[in-house]
Structure 1
Amino acid sequence: MTQVQQKPLLIKLGGAVLENNQALTNLFSALTEYLAIQQRPLLLVHGGGVIVEDVLKKMNIKSEKKNGLRITPFDQIPYVAGALAGTSNKLLMAKALQAGLSAVGLSLADGFSCSVKQMDPDLGAVGICSPNNPALINSLLAGGFLPVISSIAIGEDGNLYNVNADQAAIAICELVGAELVFLSDVDGVWDAQKKVIPELNTQLADTLIAEDVIQDGMAVKVKAALQAAEQLGYVMLASWKNPENLVSLLAGKAVGTKVIK
């Protein structure tokens, strides 16, 4: 088995893309095109909040959040795990396989890749994960496979835990030394003139948040990206809505917003 030579690239997919069949097709076509040009190891980490909401609604279960995190009572975690590690994961795998990519569906627990502990008793089965054993994922990357990793983990107590997908992506990046791209439904961070900011650091972000230029959901995304940049050096924020830009982004060209320390 050959060793992984290049630094892997991890793409964290926002859950909203799971509702957009054409966007998924475009994404995996871009990944296939990119891999035909450059044999770089790729990984995907995903959430799937939209699928979770749909499942809980059908079960007549009201879902609540605290500080942006879904409160997950332990009696609800089977439904959440099914939506994330089951339906969401296999939807992405189906698209990857259809595009000719050798996808392997995983959770954070497979091969002891990540360890997890309960974040806050008030949140129930919500965990915080940390990198643990890279052997399984590295062997898959070296073998030319595309790991598709859900944000479900298993604690030392044997319980299933739901992990914030942004935090899961950061942990996997640390685990295998990968670079990180957050792909969501926005094309980057905008300035006051609604133009994409090419590079964003903590100081500029704090100013724009204070001036309400960056607000609401984008403020949450930016804070997550800054947290990741603290640990990884930099991350990219870009959109899955522009397939023509994806190959350029993957090739390292300036697309979206580069978030640095």
Structure 2
Amino acid sequence: MNRSPIVIKVGGALLDDAAAMTRLFLSIKDVKATRPVVVVHGGGPLVETLMASLGLQSTKIDGLRVTPDDHMPYICGALAGAANKQLCAAALATGVTPVGLSLLDGNMVVCEPLAEKYGAVGVPATAESTFLKNVLAQGVLPVISSIGSSPQGRLLNVNADQAATVIAELLDGELLLLSNVDGVLDANKALIVELTANSIKQYADDGVITDGMKVKVDAALQSAETLKRAVFIASWSADIADILNKNTGTQILPEKIAPREGDAGDTE
């Protein structure tokens, strides 16, 4: 039996769908009977709403949000506070015992600033796994926000996909990137079961994988290459067991386990 942890990344839009949150945590409850589970989350919509209500301008460079240090108390409050506790409360309501954490707790993840022009945007790397493994040993569900810190104590905002990848790397776990889509669709709107770097490029060149899905697929491919195992893109409304059993969702495969030409699983 595979006992490696499952790391589930969810976007902030989940917070606006109470029914989907309930389904997700009920599915997590089932899976936790046999394997440890960790949830890593962002909270972009919540941050946007808060910043707008405070009259704070949000800008982007090359598609990446600039985060001034004086915005971090609000971003930290939205992600590590409101979003985290909303998810923890939803877990409790389904009978799952959560522990709300951030990347910096227990020195799990260390972050460095990406570049001065982006402000307090962090690049995460694995640090100490002992704390998180001890938490998982208690049978609880860690719910981890994407707020990190530099070794010097500077709070940093981390991309949630990157945060989830690093947590999966820390635990040698399987990574599921869940959102409000079933997976990656082809030109006929049919689900693509498997993707590799080559097939991703082909679909992108053909204009099939574009915009937000291209960003998601590229992040998943980078995660798969880092973890040296398949990464799943799927819906947070699907059963986790169905995703892991490849009955739904799209697998993004690293080169080392890419399907051989002619295999039944080949996407070409």
TM-score range, shorter chain: over 0.9
Q: Establish whether residue 239 from structure 1 lines up as the match of residue 235 from structure 2.
A: yes
Contact 1:152–1:162, Cα closer than 8 Å, also in 2:
yes
> Deviation of residue 68 (structure 1)?
2.5
Q: Are 1:96 and 2:91 matched, yes or no?
A: yes
2:76 matches 1:81: yes
Q: Is the 8 A contact 1:31 1:247 kept in 2?
A: no
Output the CA distance in 2 between the equivalents of 1:192 and 1:253.
21
What number of residue pairs does the alignment pair up? 252
| 1:171 maps to 2:166 | yes
1:31: Cα distance to partner? 1.5
Answer with 220-229 or 18-27: which moved more: 18-27
Equivalent residue number for residue 117 of structure 2: 122
Deviation sequence 1:55-96 (CA, Å, 0-9, x none) = 101101121122232110011011000000000000000001
The whole-number CA distance in structure 1 between the counterparts of 2:129 and 2:156 is 20
Map of 2:5 onto structure 1: 8
Q: What secondary structure does 2:70 align onto?
A: coil
| Identity across matched positions, percent | 45
**1:131 shift after superposition:** 0.3
2:252 matched to 1:259? yes
Residue in 2 that maps onto 1:161: 156
Q: Which runs of 5+ in 1 are unaligned?
A: none
Give the partner amino acid of 1:256. Answer: G
Offset of residue 247 of structure 1 = 4.0
- How far apart are residue 98 of structure 1 and its match? 1.2
Runs of 4+ in 1 over 4 A off after TM superposition: none
Q: RMSD of aligned C-alpha atoms? A: 1.2
Q: Distance in 1 between matches of 2:246 and 2:223?
A: 20
DSSP 3-state at the match of 1:76: helix
Question: In the alignment, what sits opposite 2:266?
Answer: none
Aligned to 2:261: none
Could you tell me how far apart the structure 1 residues matched to 2:114 and 2:188 are? 39
Tell me by how many angstroms 1:190 deviates: 0.7
2:242 aligns with: 248
- The alignment's TM-score, normalised by the length of structure 2, stands at 0.91
Q: Who is 1:140 aligned against?
A: 135
User: CA shift at 1:100, angstroms?
Assistant: 1.2
Q: How many angstroms apart in 2 are the aligned matches of 1:222 and 1:125?
A: 25
**TM-score computed with the length of structure 1 as normaliser:** 0.93
Residues 115-138 of structure 1, C-alpha deviations (whole Å, 9 max, x = no match): 111001111000001000001100
- Please tell me the residue identity of whatever aligns with 1:121: E
Shift of 1:163: 0.3
- Structure 1 contact 69–164 (Cα < 8 Å) conserved: no
Q: Does the CA-based 8 Å contact 1:127-1:161 persist in structure 2?
A: yes
- CA separation in 2, counterparts of 1:200 and 1:210? 14
